[in-house]
Structure 1
Amino acid sequence: MTTHRTPTHRPEAASPWVFSTRELGRRPGAMRTVSRSIAAPDAPKAIGLEGVIVVPAGSPVLLELRLEAVTEGVYVSGTASAELAGECSRCLEPLTDTIEVDVAELYAYPDSATDETTDSDEVPRLVDERVDLEQVVRDAIILELPLAPLCEPDCLGLCSECGGRRADLGPDHGHERLDPRWAALREHLPSE
């Protein structure tokens, strides 16, 4: 017995993340390319790891995509790129960077074999001849973000004694460590 899976998410036509596939029809091999700049969303849908590194809200996420009709649905492939802002995990200085990720996702046609044999959380579905790329792009970017972003690959971090940024302190920076067993003798040494 075949059961039709009802989509759990109906894409809003006005959303900049939603693309129409109407002109592709269900003709395998039909293809179109699209370019779009979309303002990054704010919390709670921010793209990234809040407090670590994110695509700043309102900054452009640039999409260069190819939508191609295949037997089971529409295959979306291309790239998404954006600016990043965060904090260095070693020295806590603000940092900026750019990211470009590959996007590749099959959106299943309603009543296709893929639709009938997979759950909606496994393969997204076309709904009303539209695809919603927001979650796909968010996931692709988040998976490529560094868990511990650095301002420089060889960032020295902070001094564990004084908390100063080691890159600013210089090579001669150090802290005198006196063995506590000799501390009493320090009183008897002449001061410099």
Structure 2
Amino acid sequence: MASTAGLVVDIVDLPQQVGAIKNVHLETSAPADLGAEMIGAQEDSPLIVDAELTSLDNGVLVRGSADVHLRGQCVRCLRDIEEDTTVSFDELYFTPEAAQAQADEGDEEADELFTVGDTTLDLEPALRDALVLALPFQPLCRQDCAGLCAQCGQRLDDLPADHHHEQLDPRWSALAALLPEQEEDPEQGERH
């Protein structure tokens, strides 16, 4: 996956001495597909990231948070959802040598480790993983959202409390076809 330039941090000025710290503040736009299918960051919406990068023997520890504008749909009524949230993340970015050492030791997940570049560090993968884990599995517009009417498809919250549909048992439909049409006599109020 291509990285978003706004989330790539220059680490040339981060000393390689263990414990050295660099603070980063980024104001950029959210990349595409940052989130899950039903809810995620709206592409090109403002994205503010604050992170602390700490040098370690085998890489860089990144502790950060991001303010994200989310957009999605309620899984019950399909109403649009928009909200702002803050997601936190802690990730270790390995040096290429340390990642290779993990692979040489038989670590099956070594190819999925985050790695630092020669002079840069891409925050997008860490942010992407943290946001997906923080998002609701089934987003709702409200916890007590009633959803949609199974017969007409309208939002139950917008319909009167006594909303219902007359439904005949489908097993009797063949017999109903045998009965003649009945009309109501307005003067007598009876059916003929």
Q: Would you say same fold, with TM above 0.5?
A: yes
Alpha-carbon distance between aligned partners in 1 of 2:156 and 2:181, rounded to the nearest angstrom? 28
Residue 5 of structure 1: aligned partner: none
Residue 76 of structure 2: aligned partner: 90
Alpha-carbon distance between aligned partners in 2 of 1:30 and 1:157, rounded to the nearest angstrom? 52
Question: Relative CO higher for 1 or 2, CA cutoff 8 Å, sep ≥ 6?
Answer: 1
Aligned pairs (5 A) from 1:26-105: 26-42=16-32, 46-50=33-37, 52-105=38-91
Percent sequence identity is: 35
Counterpart AA for 1:148? Q
1:126 maps onto 2:116 in alignment: yes
Alpha-carbon distance between aligned partners in 2 of 1:81 and 1:121, rounded to the nearest angstrom? 29
**Secondary structure, counterpart of 2:43 in structure 1:** coil
Q: Deviations over 1:38-66 (max 9, x none)?
A: 20123xxx21234x222111101221111
Shift of 1:117: 2.1
TM-score (norm 1): 0.78
Residue 163 of structure 1: aligned partner: 153
**Contact 2:62 2:90 survives alignment (8 Å):** yes
**Secondary structure, counterpart of 2:164 in structure 1:** coil
- The number of aligned residues is 176
Shift of 1:148: 2.1
Shift of 1:186: 9.2
Counterpart AA for 2:72? G
Shift of 1:109: 2.4
Alpha-carbon distance between aligned partners in 2 of 1:25 and 1:95, rounded to the nearest angstrom? 43
Counterpart AA for 1:25? P
**Contact 1:108 1:115 survives alignment (8 Å):** no
Larger radius of gyration, structure 1 or 2? 2
Q: Deviations over 1:163-188 (max 9, x none)?
A: 11100102121223345659659948
**Secondary structure, counterpart of 2:53 in structure 1:** strand
Alpha-carbon distance between aligned partners in 2 of 1:179 and 1:24, rounded to the nearest angstrom? 73
Counterpart AA for 1:121? D
Q: Deviations over 1:75-110 (max 9, x none)?
A: 001112211111111111111122322211111224
Alpha-carbon distance between aligned partners in 1 of 2:21 and 2:47, rounded to the nearest angstrom? 22
Moved more, 149-158 or 139-148: 139-148
TM-score (norm 2): 0.78
| Structure 2, unaligned runs of 5 or more | 104-108, 185-189
| Structure 1, unaligned runs of 5 or more | 1-8
Alpha-carbon distance between aligned partners in 1 of 2:180 and 2:155, rounded to the nearest angstrom? 33
